[in-house]
Amino acid sequence: DAGVIQSPRHEVTEMGQEVTLRCKPISGHDYLFWYRQTMMRGLELLIYFNNNVPIDDSGMPEDRFSAKMPNASFSTLKIQPSEPRDSAVYFCASSPRRDTGELFFGEGSRLTVL
């Protein structure tokens, strides 16, 4: 079975540029999560969706960040404009059901903003 697929794996961009990260969850999973991982702050939940609907976006740092899930098999996380402090590894994860709690993570997208 294919796992959670993220792209790009690595992105290097300059401050002020728009960045779009993509995620394909595991088929049949109803929940999708975006996390950010840094050395200083650890693993932070940015937003999660249930059946393509955003449920909790309280972790989104500011208006420069936006996330969409237009259908059950695709989600994007966009940063516009990007800043050096956005440099991190961004993980997408999906989960099949509310009660199991198990998350399936992608391999992450490492973002470097110069």
Partner 1 sequence: GDSVTQMEGPVTLSEEAFLTINCTYTATGYPSLFWYVQYPGEGLQLLLKATKADDKGSNKGFEATYRKETTSFHLEKGSVQVSDSAVYFCALFTSGTYKYIFGTGTRLKVLA
The residue ranges that bind partner 1 (CB under 8 A) are 4, 31, 33, 42-43, 45, 48, 55-56, 91, 93, 98-99, 101-108
Helix (H) or strand (E) holding 37: strand 31-38
In the complex with partner 1, which residue's Cβ is closer, 33 or 65? 33
In the complex with partner 1, which residue's Cβ is closer, 82 or 95? 95
Question: Within 13 Å of residue 45, how many CA atoms lie on the same side as its CB?
Answer: 13
In the complex with partner 1, which residue's Cβ is closer, 63 or 100? 100
- At closest approach, how far in Å is the CB of 17 from partner 1? 24
CA nearest to 107, candidates 24, 30, 51? 24
Asked if residues 82 and 16 have their Cβ atoms less than 8 Å apart, the reply is yes
